[in-house]
Amino acid sequence: MGLIVQKFGGTSVANAERIRNVARIITETYQAGNDVVAVLSAQGDTTDDLLEKAAEINPRASKREMDMLLSTGEQVSISLCAMAIEALGFPVISLTGWQVGMKTNRNYGDARITRIDKERLAAELGQRKIVLVAGFQGINRFDDVTTLGRGGSDTSAVALAAVLHADLCQIYTDVDGVYTADPRLVSDAKKLDEITYDEMLELATLGAQVLHNRSVEMAKKYKVNLEVLSSFSGNPGTKVKEVVKTMEKSHISGVAKDKNIARLALVGLSNQPGVAFQVFSLLAREKINVDIILQSIGREDTKDISFTVARSDLERAREILERHAPALGFDRIEVNDHCAKVSIVGAGMINSPGVAATMFEALYDAGININMISTSEIKVSVLVEEKDADYAVQVIHNQFFQEFERRR
């Protein structure tokens, strides 16, 4: 018994039958003696449909009006689900972001939560009501509606769990939990029983789409007990926490891929101090995120620097660098927008030499060429051609997890 925050994604509330299913999960949790706060996403593709509607009317609509529009999807879900719970005979109330005091900064479309005034929530919970909260939305200091960025309902749920000191935050979705690789790609991918915040954060950032990465960051910061599970299967999910029982684990927890990557190479830069600083501060000023960076060893008086950006930033990055070509002094820019990043993640690799070598061996055996490499304490990423990415995930997964099965 305790306080449980549950979050249901768009597919879990896509139609009347599924909303009734969610109402059942919520009320069963309540009947077991828990206080329940449930955060809902917009039904199915609602948010995408709303984006299309806006584009038909004004492709350059202001961000304020976009948020006004996009926030409506979640309001539909919570009211419908409240009706389903009323029909089951339980006390329930639905609340929008502003009604629960979800305060954000003013950054429309990608707002950050600054504070949650929890009086209203506490009062409703005090009366033993089930509280349904519209995900993905808040209110800024102008009393205007803001949204938290695509996938932001996860973050709404974790933020509520943090301020309410919830015993558990359950993220219900359409898969059974977090897998060692995308199960649609790797047939013997396994569901993880547990994973650390850091690993989950890397996986979420590297392209595994189960959780919004900001929600994981927040869960780690406030030590929120997270569980990712399916609203359809009833199976136990994946627990996300500080430490996990590493004894039974493979050195890695998962393999992820991200195709939203482009590589730029500045060839023939002058081999002077300060060049890298100039290049990357230009990009930073334009808020272009740079990921993997590689600088060649200088030959005579020139060197090359290559780096990756999100594909959507490629043209802007190229344009900025070309504009500053005279000052930077390079021969040419080479771009590759058909590459992909494949990564392995695992807290277990810190103390086990040879993990990167195992990954490279799998790629070598498969004849897949590596263009760039980057590592951190708990991940190794390689840049490969996009056409090789799926196969790379499969062979790397095989190498680690079949080996693991053999050792057991």
For ligand ASP, the binding residues (CB under 6 A) are 9-10, 41-42, 47, 73, 135-136, 150-153
Q: Are strands 145-147 and 137-139 parallel, antiparallel or unpaired?
A: antiparallel
The site partner of 136 among Mg ion, ligand ASP, none (C-beta below 5 to 8 Å per kind) is ligand ASP
Per-residue x/- mask for Mg ion, residues 7 to 46, rule CB under 5 A? --x-------------------------------------
Alpha carbon separation from 289 to 38, 147, 293, 317 (Å, rounded): 34, 22, 11, 10
Residues with Cβ within 8 Å of 287's Cβ and at least 6 positions away in sequence, in order, are none
Of 171 and 275, which has the nearer Cβ to ligand ASP?
171
Q: What value, to the nearest 5°, has the Cα angle with vertex 167 and ends 161 and 172?
A: 65
Residues with Cβ within 8 Å of 373's Cβ and at least 6 positions away in sequence, in order, are 292, 356, 380, 381, 382, 383
Beta bridge partners of 130: 92
185 in Cβ contact with 324 (< 8 Å): no
Alpha carbon separation from 376 to 3, 264, 384 (Å, rounded): 36, 22, 18
Least separation in angstroms between CB 169 and Mg ion:
16
Which residues, numbered 147-186, are part of the site for Mg ion (CB under 5 A)?
151
Of 161 and 380, which has the nearer Cβ to ligand ASP?
161
210 class by beta-carbon count within 10 Å (0-12 exposed, 13-18 middle, 19+ buried): buried
Least separation in angstroms between CB 40 and ligand ASP:
9
Of 227 and 304, which has the nearer Cβ to Mg ion?
227
Least separation in angstroms between CB 44 and Mg ion:
10
Q: What value, to the nearest 5°, has the Cα angle with vertex 295 and ends 309 and 310?
A: 5
Least separation in angstroms between CB 377 and ligand ASP:
30
The site partner of 73 among ligand ASP, Mg ion, none (C-beta below 5 to 8 Å per kind) is ligand ASP
Residue whose CB is nearest to ligand ASP in the complex, by number? 153
Radius of gyration from C-alpha coordinates of the chain: 23
Q: Which stretch binds Mg ion (CB under 5 A): 105-113, 144-152, 270-278, 393-401?
A: 144-152
The site partner of 47 among ligand ASP, Mg ion, none (C-beta below 5 to 8 Å per kind) is ligand ASP
The site partner of 152 among Mg ion, ligand ASP, none (C-beta below 5 to 8 Å per kind) is ligand ASP
Of 9 and 346, which has the nearer Cβ to ligand ASP?
9
Of 9 and 254, which has the nearer Cβ to Mg ion?
9
Strand, helix or coil for residue 183: coil
Of 11 and 250, which has the nearer Cβ to Mg ion?
11
Contacts to Mg ion by CB under 5 A: 9, 151
